[in-house]
């Protein structure tokens, strides 16, 4: 049973962040609180073991994906801006460079170019699309606009089968093209290693291990792309492949112990995988010096609070303070209908509750946070480009700068799938590790219009059915998210001999790699039928169910 107050023996508490809440909210909290950023970059793997492929970012939407693919080859990889000075690259111990794609044209004024060290350090270089054009332009070849933008599938034929880049690759392989410019003349010293019907220089290389690919090996539409990237990392750059989550955990434990010393850490728990992994990692390192705080905002799914608390208190034995603040949040949300206003209200209320609870703990030195690598990259790039804000995922209002907490972000250099692997290494329950992302504002942004207790109950019941049926159909892990939305539309129905006038529930199920883009899942019809039948039969107040068949973009995953 959940208790409103911490048990008396609970001398400490913890807070971890929800999947999303933590990523944005606490980062902001810590900043507002004057928290310090750790500089863990040089500590990702100790000393000589660290081997990095550095991706030079020219702004492609796929840049981060390149880094992720390289990591999947057990090689540590970081993405840096194209104007990063060499001094900042040295601590990474680079073994090779990848130049990403990008939207510019090399012959335009001000087009970004590769820094001189790319060509001067005698390290292997792989240019992808725009990256290849940059190499061509800078080393004396010729790039021109193509008569027609080439976008889509092509077949790559390798003409130099001995190139280590093509080891274990079929001599003809499907690849994905997306470019408006093309290589007209390769730079001196380069030869064509592969061609497609339209690109005589689909792959080029020279004897100094500088290569260019006209296509995108990082996207799923290039099925053997990972083999090419792996060949580059292992065979050409000579990386040993020592980036494993086991090595990460081992190193993190030492690092966290060193960073925290005898200090006290708080962590906000949400039930999400990121906050759970942060908590578990820190708990392994410093035990009871960590306190978790778990705020129930009343916007959680059915049984979520109980399950989360059970895992952290009972199974993992962590100091966990539980606060049932549902009533406060509901009151705060009264008559709020605008999505952004909902987020703001929830964020502000959360900070109030968090502060109150943190204040009861006594001395606290560190705030743990589940910031992931994509967030680090996103915040770095939004600083320079003033990215348009589509939705406020930061649930933070004003925060009094009373506390001075240092920030501890052990997952700062990990991708989501790596976080899950770390969770497995640490022995977290599978159910927690494979939990689909859940937004910080919870069910409030899945209820269109005002949030009320009655609507929350309706949505919880419908959502429960969706989750159970998706799990029964063994689709839960394959889907990025699957859930119900309670719309503010009411429609007429008939049940037995009676006319009904009930709510319309929408079902959303999407596949995605990173939530930046998503596609609606082609769920089997009978599964949809079962979900629909069960909802209208079992959830009072609902008499119609629809399935959302829009992708992102142009829609978003959540409805608000």
CB of 4 to ligand XMP, least distance (A): 25
108 catalytically annotated = no
CB 286 within 8 A of CB 386: no
User: 95 to each of 85, 129, 207, 239, how far by Cα in Å?
Assistant: 16, 21, 17, 7
As a whole number of angstroms, the distance between CA 137 and CA 122 comes to 19
CB of 475 to ligand XMP, least distance (A): 17
Q: Cβ–Cβ contacts within 10 Å for residue 108, how many?
A: 9
As a whole number of angstroms, the distance between CA 98 and CA 539 comes to 53
What is the SS3 assignment for 337? coil
Q: Would you state the structure tokens that stand for residue 463, as one six-digit string?
A: 């959502």
In the complex with ligand XMP, which residue's Cβ is closer, 27 or 213?
Answer: 27
77 catalytically annotated = no
CB of 315 to ligand XMP, least distance (A): 25
CB of 354 to ligand XMP, least distance (A): 15
* Closest-approach residue to ligand XMP (CB): 20
Q: Cβ–Cβ contacts within 10 Å for residue 426, how many?
A: 18
CB of 271 to ligand XMP, least distance (A): 12
Q: What is the DSSP string of 174-191?
A: EEEEEEEEEEEEPPTT-E
Q: What angle do CA 214, 227, 180 make, to 5 degrees?
A: 15
Q: What angle do CA 222, 223, 225 make, to 5 degrees?
A: 65
CB of 552 to ligand XMP, least distance (A): 5
In the complex with ligand XMP, which residue's Cβ is closer, 125 or 433?
Answer: 433
Active-site position among 73, 77, 129, 292: 129
In the complex with ligand XMP, which residue's Cβ is closer, 475 or 515?
Answer: 515
Q: DSSP character for 413?
A: T
In the complex with ligand XMP, which residue's Cβ is closer, 250 or 391?
Answer: 391
Residues binding ligand XMP (CB under 6 A): 20-21, 343, 391, 393, 437, 439-441, 481, 515, 552, 556-558
In the complex with ligand XMP, which residue's Cβ is closer, 313 or 332?
Answer: 332
In the complex with ligand XMP, which residue's Cβ is closer, 429 or 437?
Answer: 437
| Matching residue, tokens 């995953």 | 557
How crowded is the C-beta side of 229, counted as CA atoms within 13 Å?
31
CB of 5 to ligand XMP, least distance (A): 27
Q: What is the dihedral of CA 435, 440, 443, 447, to 10 degrees?
A: -130
Please provide the distance, in angstroms rounded to a whole number, between the alpha carbons at the two ends of the chain: 32
129 catalytically annotated = yes
In the complex with ligand XMP, which residue's Cβ is closer, 53 or 466?
Answer: 466
Q: What is the DSSP string of 453-509?
A: HHHHHHHHHHHHHHHHHHHHTT-TTTSSEEEEEEEEEEEEEEETTEEEEEEEEEEEE
Catalytic residues, by residue number, are 129, 216, 218
């Amino acid at each position: 049973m959940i208790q409103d107050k911490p048990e008396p023996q609970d001398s400490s508490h913890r807070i971890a962040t929800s999947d999303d809440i933590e990523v944005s909210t606490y980062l902001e909290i810590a900043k507002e609180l004057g928290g310090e950023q750790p500089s863990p970059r040089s500590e990702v793997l100790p000393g000589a073991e660290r081997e990095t492929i550095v991706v030079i970012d020219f702004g492609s939407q796929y840049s981060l994906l390149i880094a992720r693919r390289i990591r999947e080859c057990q090689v540590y990889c970081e993405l840096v801006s194209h104007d990063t000075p060499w001094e900042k690259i040295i601590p990474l111990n680079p073994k090779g460079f990848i130049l990403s794609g990008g939207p510019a044209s090399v012959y335009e004024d001000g087009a970004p170019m590769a820094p001189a060290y790319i060509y001067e350090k005698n390290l292997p270089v792989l240019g992808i699309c725009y990256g290849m054009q940059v190499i061509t332009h800078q080393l004396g070849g010729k790039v021109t606009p193509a008569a027609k933008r080439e976008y889509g599938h092509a077949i790559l034929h390798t003409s130099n089968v001995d190139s280590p880049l093509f080891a274990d690759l079929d001599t003809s392989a499907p690849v994905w093209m997306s470019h408006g410019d093309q290589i007209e003349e390769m730079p001196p010293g380069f030869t064509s290693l592969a061609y497609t019907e339209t690109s005589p220089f689909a792959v080029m290389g020279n004897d100094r291990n500088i290569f260019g690919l006209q296509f995108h090996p990082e996207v799923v539409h290039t099925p053997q792309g990972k083999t090419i990237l792996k060949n580059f990392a292992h065979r050409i750059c000579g990386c040993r492949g020592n980036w494993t989550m086991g090595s990460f955990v081992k190193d993190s434990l030492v690092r966290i112990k060193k960073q925290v010393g005898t200090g006290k850490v708080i962590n906000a728990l949400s039930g999400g995988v990121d906050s759970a992994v942060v908590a578990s990692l820190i708990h392994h390192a410093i035990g009871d010096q960590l306190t978790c705080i778990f705020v129930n905002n009343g916007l959680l799914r059915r049984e979520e609070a109980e399950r989360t608390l059970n895992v952290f208190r009972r199974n993992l034995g962590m100091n966990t303070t539980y606060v049932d603040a549902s009533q406060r949040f509901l009151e705060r949300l009264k008559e709020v209908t605008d999505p952004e206003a909902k987020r703001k209200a929830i964020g502000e209320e959360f900070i109030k509750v968090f502060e109150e609870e943190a204040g009861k703990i006594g001395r606290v030195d560190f705030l743990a946070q589940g910031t992931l690598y994509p967030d680090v990259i996103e915040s770095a790039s939004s600083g320079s480009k003033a990215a348009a804000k589509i939705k406020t995922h930061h649930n933070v209002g004003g925060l009094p700068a009373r506390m001075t907490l240092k920030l501890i972000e052990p997952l700062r250099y990990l991708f989501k799938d790596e976080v899950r692997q770390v969770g497995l290494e640490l022995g977290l329950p599978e159910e927690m590790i494979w939990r689909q992302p859940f937004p910080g504002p919870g069910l409030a942004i899945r209820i269109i219009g005002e949030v009320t207790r009655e609507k929350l109950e309706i949505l919880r019941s419908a959502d429960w059915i969706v989750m159970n049926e998706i799990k029964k159909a063994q689709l839960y892990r394959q889907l990025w998210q699957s859930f119900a939305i309670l719309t503010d539309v009411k429609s007429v129905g008939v049940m037995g001999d009676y006319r009904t006038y009930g709510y319309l529930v929408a079902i959303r199920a999407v596949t995605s790699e990173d939530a930046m883009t998503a596609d609606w899942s082609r769920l089997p019809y009978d599964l949809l039928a079962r979900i629909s039948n069960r909802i209208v039969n079992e959830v009072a107040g609902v008499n119609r169910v629809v399935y959302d068949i829009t992708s992102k973009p142009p829609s978003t995953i959540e409805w608000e």
